[in-house]
Structure 1
Amino acid sequence: MHIHHLLDKNSVLNTFISELRDVNIQKDSLRFRRNIERVGEILGYELSKKLNYTHQEIQTPLGSKQVNALKDKLVVCSILRAGLPLHQGLLNYFDKAENSFISAYRHHLNQTDFEIRVEYMASPAIDQKTLIIADPMLATGRSFVNVYNAIKQMGNPKEIHLVAVIGAKAGVELLQKEFPNNTHLWIATIDEKLNDQGYIVPGLGDAGDLCYGEKMQH
């Protein structure tokens, strides 16, 4: 797997990640969602450098010009519900992409053990297309793996790109084992560990709850 860890170098991305982590700024859910979206735009821009382009000639008011235009057919697949603002950030840059939505949630067996359940999917065919799977939090990595296993019934993608805001080393290591070697992971920052409940430490908390409000556990 090719890992692109963007905060290895300083940029304006530092500001957005700092605000996402800050417990005081997190109280503004609108700002939290917008920061996730802005991180998605930055990750999408960096991802675009690895895509395929073709030469085209366009007409301007004063003449013609050879340009490089995106060649790949993209499918952006977001994991509900926390993935929605990240999805929008990617769509801001890949506005012609097709869209896929898959639910993946933690079903808690007890205080520390849980399983990832996938119960809903709306997706176009992905055969020979460039698949982008987006989820803000890469904790254990099981959501990415289960979603990928579910969407494979829609075809065999030409390329796979994974997009996350914050991850844990354990989750990155699982993705390296479970995804094809030529997969690209685009991630803003990677934290050291998970706690006993499988949440990233220091992380930022539950991204879905911070975006859309707390949910009832089931």
Structure 2
Amino acid sequence: MHIHNLSKGNSVLNTFISEIRDYSIQTDRMRFRRNIERIGEVLGYEMSKSFDFTTQSIKTPLGESKIELHNNDIVLCSILRAGVPLHNGLLNYFDSAENAFISAYRHHKENPENFEIIVEYLACPSLENKTLILADPMLATGQSMVATFEALKPFGAPKDIHLVSVIGAKAGVDYVGKHFNKETHLWIAAIDERLNDKGYIIPGLGDAGDLAFGEKLQH
């Protein structure tokens, strides 16, 4: 798997990452969502450099201009609910993308440290020979990303696959690396070293879905 860790270089992205991590700032839900959206835009911009481009002629009022435009047929799939702001950021840059949505959540059994990933809702166009962008802001154990991709397989075989996350743990990155083909690309803003015993990223930022949309009742 090709890993593109944007934290290896300094940019304005550092500001957005610092604010979604900062406990005194992240409690502003509107700002949190907007920062996730902006991170999605940065990741989308960097990802676009790897796309296929062809030369096209554009007529201007004074003549003609030739420009390279990407010709990837994109399907953007996000994991609900935390993935919505990240989805919006990517969609801001890929105007004509088709969209897919899937719900995947952790179901804890008797032991709160053990869980399985439950997929309940899925809406998806054909993926056959298209560019699949699979977005989930937190790549903790990697199980949600893998379970989501397994659920998408009946919709066709993508030409190429791009995974997009805001913050991941090394264990999660390693896990998806074992379950996706070697030509898959991972675009990520930061990679943290470890998970705690409940499978949450440390230092991470907390629960991205709760921070974006409010706390949920457990059932």
Q: Which bin holds the TM-score, normalised by the shorter protein?
A: over 0.9
Tell me how far apart the structure 2 counterparts of residues 128 and 211 of structure 1 sit (CA, whole Å): 33
Most deviating of 50-59 and 28-37: 50-59
Partner of 1:57: 57
Q: CA deviation at 1:67?
A: 1.1
Q: Secondary structure at the match of 2:177?
A: helix
Alignment partner of 1:120 is 2:121: yes
Matched residue type, 2:67: V
Q: CA deviation at 1:69?
A: 1.3
Matched residue type, 1:130: T
Partner of 1:189: 190
Structure 1: 5+ residue runs without aligned partners? none
Matched residue type, 2:113: T
Identity, in percent, stands at 66
Partner of 1:45: 45
Q: Secondary structure at the match of 1:217?
A: coil
Q: Secondary structure at the match of 2:51?
A: coil
Mapping of residues 1-218 of structure 1, within 5 Å: 1-109=1-109, 110-218=111-219
Tell me how far apart the structure 2 counterparts of residues 104 and 132 of structure 1 sit (CA, whole Å): 16
Q: CA deviation at 1:143?
A: 0.5
Deviations 1:75-108 (A, max 9, x none): 0000000000000000000011000000000101
Q: CA deviation at 1:58?
A: 1.1
Structural RMSD (CA): 0.5
Tell me how far apart the structure 2 counterparts of residues 81 and 179 of structure 1 sit (CA, whole Å): 23
Tell me how far apart the structure 2 counterparts of residues 108 and 213 of structure 1 sit (CA, whole Å): 20
TM-score normalised by the chain length of structure 2: 0.99
Matched residue type, 2:44: G
Aligned residues between the structures? 218
Q: Secondary structure at the match of 1:24?
A: helix
Tell me how far apart the structure 2 counterparts of residues 208 and 13 of structure 1 sit (CA, whole Å): 20
TM-score normalised by the chain length of structure 1: 0.99
Structure 2: 5+ residue runs without aligned partners? none
Deviations 1:35-69 (A, max 9, x none): 00000000000000000111111100000111111
Deviations 1:124-182 (A, max 9, x none): 00100000000100000000000000001100000000000000000000011000110
